[in-house]
Amino acid sequence: MPLLTRIRGPRDLDRLTLEELDQLAEEIRTFLVDSVSKTGGHLGPNLGVVELTIALHRVFDSPADRVLWDTGHQAYVHKLLTGRQDFSKLRGKGGLSGYPSRAESEHDVIENSHASTVLGWADGLAKANQLLKRDQHVVAVIGDGALTGGMAWEALNNIAEAKDRPLVIVVNDNERSYAPTIGGLANHLATLRTTDGYERFLARTKDLLDRTPVVGKPLYETLHGAKKGLKDFIAPQGMFEDLGLKYVGPIDGHDVEALESALARAKRFGGPVIVHCLTEKGRGYEPAEQDEADRFHGIGPIHPDTGLPIKAAAASWTSVFGDEMVKLGREREDIVAITAAMLQPVGLKKFADAFPERIYDVGIAEQHAAVSAAGLATGGLHPVFAVYATFLNRAFDQVLMDVALHKCGVTFVLDRAGVTGDDGASHNGMWDMSMLQLVPGLRMAAPRDAEQLRAQLREAVEVDDAPTVVRYSKGVVGPAVPAVRRVGGMDVLREPGTDRPDVLLVSVGALAPMCLEIASLLDKQGISTTVVDPRWVKPVDEALAPLAERHRVVVTVEDNSRVGGVGSAVSQSLRDAGVDVPLRDFGIPPRFLDHASRAQVMTEIGLTAPDIARQVTGLVAKLDGRYDRTTADEVEAARD
Ligand SMILES: Cc1ncc(C[n+]2csc(CCOP(=O)(O)OP(=O)(O)O)c2C)c(N)n1
Ligand SMILES: CC(=O)[C@@H](O)[C@H](O)COP(=O)(O)O
Ligand SMILES: [Mg+2]
């Protein structure tokens, strides 16, 4: 009799026997593989937390108690057990989010997918419970990878201070982020893992003594009672206990009974307590268990029986970057690379294989990566820090005050810039070109195709007295877009034969093909358009003002927030140059975008050729004093 479909909420777990719980775990794994192999998603992390999530929801009473997830990519099982079992459109428009979502469920709290924040949330909630005398347990699940993030230690420092403030921290230790987790913390967790922990000793002793009841029970009670001395003897003080946190573990993270026992003890403790659980990423699905790269951390659709991807990988922006980095590494010994626990996803694996002594994986620690890069540059090297655009947000101050203030030659390569879509609001790389406009001296490039990516990366690493940024989209790199001619540092991609064209369209980065389509649509309306790619969007090229002056209107199009982006910078630059030409900037609206495919999101926010062409047509019509809906509707018709 299937069990999973009979679980409508966590309390339905209470009536299950241990055998039924094992069956449920098996059903969940089968469900995850069947479903996520179709939709793509974080299969490996979720296969690793099946028993842990079951035990959490049996010991704690969500939503009365709060169960919090760090990063949230491993919350699929949590969703299955809290009334959400339709994964058919996971991460798709109208489907379940790939992360916790308050709109989906009262069981969800943290929606963002940025790592290392859960302990901060938990600290705040625990403080609120204490002040408001609320009888609520707070449980925070954090992975070993997320524990390498600085914010986690800021929170732990606070949590450890209040011995009387209940808070359960579950360390989900699978020894991996994508790749094996690096650093001193990982080594310490390994020590704790291998030390025959007090809990395991007790469990073994209990098991042994249960088999000899006459001697067993009193002896077990004595051992349990002598726990302080025994524990110190068996399990040397770990870092967590040195901090003042009670430590329970290591616990087999796939043994529901052991997990429930440990979690129940932690629940009763009455202060901050760490439950160290040992899990296996990808557990129960052989292709994932065998995958040494990242245990199927995040996958696209796969053949469930083999684990092989349905679609062969095409040339991506990431792979173009990775290949060029290897060439650069051969040409220049001073070039080193940095990743924040994402060596493979940012395309630095080949560089690492070629130059193992010149790659630094700093863990999920983007702030440290930026400051360390300032140190590397000051030490005579040229660091290239490759990171997803959205994850650089948290290192803004380090870029500003450590790298830029000290005029360090550091190159930041921002992958997944612009709308990414299916990973939801917190993953879109939509803030970088606004945020980095603020950094004095920083130079920023947005390549339009593979050739420009290679060229602009090379230009960037030549700069040794300021931070440089190269940012590009997620996924398959677009078609080559040739230039008609170069003006200043900019490439003219298309120009009409007239002396004073109507529109100067400033095309930023990977949107070049769309901008050329806009120009074609405008042609149909009798509107002449010059398309220019600035290549380096910061600082604004001095040649732009005189070029703009020869047009009736300037239009900018960028895959970044409209607020403070390239459009704003161009507008300010033209004003400063005394060029009084109307400007209309198109970009991402300053709001959080729900998960959907990139194309669906771009359509929804009107960042498409027909939408922009229609609006520009209306703008030009207004200039001609002949604006009416009809004109705009004509372009609407041009969509087809
Ligand atoms: C600030 C930030 N940097 C990078 C990432 C990308 N990322 C997502 S999950 C992950 C690894 C997390 O490892 P861990 O916390 O151990 O969780 P596990 O996947 O092992 O369950 C990384 C680096 C992120 N989500 N947030
Ligand atoms: C949870 C997380 O932050 C990463 O796993 C992210 O989902 C990966 O994104 P890509 O799939 O674009 O590499
Ligand atoms: Mg991990």
Note the pLDDT tens digit of each residue in 265-312. 999 999 999 999 999 999 999 999 999 999 999 999 999 999 999 998
Give the residue, by CA position, lying nearest to ligand 2 atom 5: 298
Output the CA 383–ligand 2 centroid distance in Å. Answer: 23
Active-site residue flag, 281: yes
Please report the pLDDT score of residue 313 as a whole number: 84
Structure tokens at 57: 């929801």
> Is pLDDT at 640 greater than 50 in this prediction?
no
% of residues, the chain, pLDDT over 90: 88
Say if residue 215's pLDDT is above 70.
no
- Cα angle value 227/228/234 (rounded, 5°): 75
Q: Which residues does ligand 1 sit against, CB inside 6 Å?
A: 45, 71, 73-74, 113-115, 143-146, 172, 174, 176-178, 281, 297, 340-342, 364, 366, 391
Angle ∠(229,232,236) on CA atoms, nearest 5: 175
**Ligand 1 atom at minimal distance to the Cα of residue 116:** 1
Counting residues of the chain whose pLDDT is more than 70, the rounded percentage is: 91
* 307 CA distance to ligand 2 middle (Å): 18
DSSP line for 322-339:
HHHHHHHHHH-TTEEEEE
How many whole angstroms separate alpha carbon 394 and alpha carbon 387? 12
**CB within 8 A of 615, min separation 6: which ones?**
584, 586, 606, 632
Question: Measured between alpha carbons, how far is 118 from 146 in angstroms, rounded to an integer?
Answer: 9
Pocket test for ligand 1, best of 32, 71, 281, 367 (most atoms within 8 A of CB): 71
pLDDT at 397: 98
User: How close is the Cα of 342 to the center of ligand 2, in Å?
Assistant: 9
The residues facing 444 across adjacent strands are: 469, 538
Task: List pLDDT tens digits, range 357-404.
Answer: 999 999 999 999 999 999 999 999 999 999 999 999 999 999 999 999
Which positions ≥6 away from 398 have C-beta within 8 Å? Answer: 367, 370, 371, 374
| Mean pLDDT score of the chain | 94
Q: How far is CA 553 from the centre of its chain?
A: 38
**pLDDT in the model for residue 627:** 57
User: What pLDDT, on a 0 to 100 scale, did the predictor assign at position 639?
Assistant: 45
> Tell me: the pLDDT tens digits for 183-207?
999 999 998 887 765 555 656 666 6
Q: Which of 70, 111, 427, 598 to mutate to test the pocket of ligand 2 (most atoms within 8 A of CB)?
A: 427
Residue among 66, 84, 91, 281 flagged as catalytic: 281
> Are the beta carbons of 393 and 368 closer than 8 angstroms?
no
Note the Cα 62 to chain centre separation in Å: 26
The protein residue whose alpha carbon is closest to atom 8 in ligand 2 is: 298
Reported as a single tens digit per residue, the pLDDT across 317-348 is 999 999 999 999 999 999 999 999 999 999 99
Integer distance in angstroms from the first to the last C-alpha of the chain? 52
Ligand 2 centroid from CA 422, angstroms = 10
The ipTM is 0.99
Based on the residue annotation, tell me whether 394 is a catalytic residue of this protein: yes
> Helix 198-210 and helix 256-268: axis angle, to 10°?
120
> What ranges make up the beta strands (E) of 240-282?
246-252, 272-278
